[in-house]
Amino acid sequence: MQAISYSQATDKKQLKRTNNLIKDIQRTPFEGIGKPESLKFNLSGFWSRRIDEEYRLVYTVTDEAILIASCRYHY
């Protein structure tokens, strides 16, 4: 949540894009906008979507929830 708070203070466009990605993940967790990519190695089980060229939204999906691991910087 710190990254989202940081984004709110610094970049409204990035915040809007992040919110749009989260909404799309709720509908279709493994396809859609942001070029979803299954991660490997120590992040196996996590997915990544592009917020912009620098930042990625890293998340995993359980039966009950979407867990966001990171939404700032590249994994």
CA distance 22 to 12: 15
Active site includes 53?
A: no
What is residue 9's three-state secondary structure? helix
pLDDT of residue 20: 98
CATH number for 58: 3.30.2310.20
Q: Is residue 75 part of a domain?
A: no
Catalytic, out of 31, 37, 53, 64: 37
Active site includes 31?
A: no
Domain that holds residue 12: 2-70
Q: Looking at the predicted structure, is the pLDDT value of residue 74 above 80?
A: no
pLDDT tens-place string over residues 11-58: 889 999 999 999 999 999 999 999 999 999 999 999 999 999 999 999
Q: Report the phi/psi class of residue 35: left, alpha or beta, with left for phi > 0 and alpha for psi in -120 to 50.
A: left
